[in-house]
């Protein structure tokens, strides 16, 4: 490693100077060595991609540590642990892992940066976490350029919404996900019903045709708790070409489109098992895997790895993913970013860790191991891991891939995103429970969203999805 060689030679010089009492000259030599080492990295970076640099030994961070706060207990746990071992072997930098449940991530990182504890160098989480924290994060363009990080080959929404503030890029996309639709191919094929569907009305008509509650078979399974209803409502609302907020953050859900989307949510109950409003993700996935429903609408990750396991599934090779009816966005595109914190004392090592785990090369390698060795995969941010590996092996995921390409995040750029998110679910939940009408739900939702915005209006425009006039 060129940087290591420079330091090795310099150590000899420094020791000689110290032995002969030349303390000032020794300190000067240290400063010159640091500069020469940095120049070595920059020289190596000229024309050489990041992956070649790290694999070729051009990056050395011996003795440095990177403290990494990330979501634990998820599909990429083993990937992160494996990469940490590899990164230390490649660069000399130790990565200290702090896997944290999703619900505890935001309180932990907010406490860290606002109290000045500054324990962490890198934070991984939903892009929405950035909206209230970007003042504590490094803008990454200089690092991307310095280390020649490949920014091509991500899903399109990561470009459309990745620089939501207009002030640059504050994270590298790492993983993704989307609420999408899995269907029973055998059920629809036997009924002579073609798919995917041109409209939500066509989709519902197909559900009505296969729905057979007298024999314990239902058209659809979904998680009916408020937090999961949001995604389904957004798909039905966005599919009509309407954004939740205008460019100037004016809520626009109290509209024919908003009421129609809620009407569709209420009607969805006609094709679902009793008690579905009390279900969360495991119950919905279990009903689909048991063969009790023709559709499962929500996160694919809940059935990934088990849907074709005969010990856990009754629908082996009888399923596929489809895009949202009409080809519009499915509900709530998620993007997990890795973010570099300003207070980090090891920014270069920290950034290179981020670049390593989000790199196309490493994600493709892991996807290959997922397919060939059966290790746990995840929804990779890099499309090549899908197009070159996942889709050839699992063509049923094409609909999920298409949904990811057309995805839209919940209220991009809004720091109060969680309040907005939950209010959408709560108002739809009340309508589906029969407590209020769809029109009353949208009237109440718009008032709630207006209050949320007025509490702190973002100092930049709301990003309008391309399909909104």
CA dihedral over 152, 153, 156, 159, signed as positive or negative: negative
Mean pLDDT of the chain: 89
pLDDT for position 84: 98
pLDDT of residue 332: 83
Report CA 282 to chain centroid distance, whole Å: 20
| Listed residue (80, 36, 87) closest to 62, CA to CA | 87
Mean pLDDT, to the nearest integer, of 387-414?
A: 92
Q: For 347-362, how does the pLDDT look when each residue is reduced to its tens digit (9 = 90+)?
A: 999 999 999 999 999 9
Predicted pLDDT of residue 42? 52
The sign of the torsion formed by the CA atoms of 397, 188, 298, 409 equals: positive
State yes or no: pLDDT of 16 exceeds 90.
Answer: no
Sorted by where each begins, the domain ranges of the chain are: 2-46, 52-175+335-385, 178-333+402-455
* pLDDT band with cut points at 50, 70 and 90 for residue 18: very low
Q: Matching CATH topology for 52-175+335-385 and 178-333+402-455?
A: yes
What is the predicted pLDDT for the residue at 46? 63
Least confident of 12-26, 187-201, 406-420: 12-26
- Whether 28 has a pLDDT exceeding 90, the answer reads no
pLDDT at 4: 39
For 441-468, what is the mean pLDDT? Answer: 88
| Architecture of the domain spanning 52-175+335-385 | 3-Layer(aba) Sandwich (3.40)
What pLDDT is stored for residue 357 in this prediction?
98
* Percent of residues, the chain, with pLDDT higher than 70: 89
Rounded to the nearest 5 percent, the helix, strand and coil shares of the chain are 50, 15, 35
In this model, does residue 165 exceed pLDDT 90? Answer: no
Distances (CA, A) of 145 to 137, 295, 347, 444: 17, 45, 14, 47
Q: E-assigned strands of 127-274?
A: 172-184, 221-222
Given a cut of 80, is residue 41 above it in pLDDT?
no
* 316-335: average pLDDT: 90
Domain 178-333+402-455 has CATH 1.10.3720.10: no
Q: Hey, is 43 helix, strand or coil?
A: helix
Tens-digit pLDDT profile for residues 213-260: 999 999 999 999 999 999 999 999 999 988 999 989 999 999 999 999
Cis peptide, bond prior to residue 288, ω within 30 of zero: no
């Amino acid at each position: 490693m060129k940087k290591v060689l420079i330091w090795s030679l310099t150590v000899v010089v420094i020791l000689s100077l110290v032995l002969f009492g030349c303390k000032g000259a020794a300190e000067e030599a240290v400063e010159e060595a640091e500069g020469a080492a940095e120049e070595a990295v920059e020289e190596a970076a000229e024309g050489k991609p990041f992956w070649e640099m790290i694999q070729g030994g051009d990056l050395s961070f011996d003795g440095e540590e990177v403290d990494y706060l990330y979501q634990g207990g998820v599909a990429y746990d083993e990937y992160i642990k494996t990469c940490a071992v590899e990164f230390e072997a490649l660069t000399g930098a130790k990565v200290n892992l702090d896997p944290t449940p999703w619900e505890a991530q935001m309180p932990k990182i907010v406490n860290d940066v606002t109290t000045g504890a500054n324990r962490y160098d890198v934070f991984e989480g939903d892009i929405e976490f950035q909206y209230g924290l970007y003042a504590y994060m490094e803008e990454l363009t200089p690092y991307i350029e310095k280390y020649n990080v490949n920014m091509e080959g991500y899903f399109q929404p990561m470009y459309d919404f990745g620089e939501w503030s207009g002030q640059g890029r504050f994270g590298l996309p790492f993983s993704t996900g989307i609420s999408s639709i899995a269907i029973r191919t055998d059920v629809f094929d036997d009924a002579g019903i073609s798919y995917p569907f041109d409209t939500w009305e066509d989709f519902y008509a197909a559900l009505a045709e296969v729905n057979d509650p007298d024999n314990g078979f239902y058209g659809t399974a979904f998680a009916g708790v408020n937090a999961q209803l949001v995604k389904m409502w957004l798909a039905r609302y966005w599919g009509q070409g309407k954004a939740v907020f205008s460019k100037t953050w004016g809520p626009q859900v109290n509209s024919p489109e908003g009421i129609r989307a809620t009407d569709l949510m209420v009607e969805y109950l006609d094709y679902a098992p009793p008690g579905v409003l009390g279900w969360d993700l495991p119950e919905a996935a279990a009903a689909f895997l048991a063969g009790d429903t023709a559709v499962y609408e929500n996160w694919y990750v809940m059935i990934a790895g088990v849907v074709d396991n005969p010990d856990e599934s009754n629908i082996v090779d009888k399923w596929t993913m489809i895009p949202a009816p009409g080809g519009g966005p499915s509900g709530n595109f998620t993007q997990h970013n890795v973010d570099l914190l300003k207070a980090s004392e090891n920014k270069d090592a920290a950034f290179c860790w981020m670049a390593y785990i989000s790199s196309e090369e490493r994600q493709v390698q892991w996807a290959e191991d997922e397919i060939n060795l059966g290790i746990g995969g995840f929804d990779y941010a890099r499309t090549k891991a899908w197009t070159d590996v996942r889709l050839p092996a699992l063509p049923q995921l094409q609909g999920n891939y298409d949904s990811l390409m057309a995805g839209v995040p919940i209220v991009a750029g809004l720091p109060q995103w969680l309040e907005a998110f939950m209010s959408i679910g709560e108002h739809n939940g009340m309508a589906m429970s029969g407590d209020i009408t769809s029109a009353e739900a949208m009237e109440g939702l718009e008032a709630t969203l207006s209050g949320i915005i007025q509490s702190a209006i973002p100092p930049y425009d709301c990003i309008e999805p391309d399909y909104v006039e």
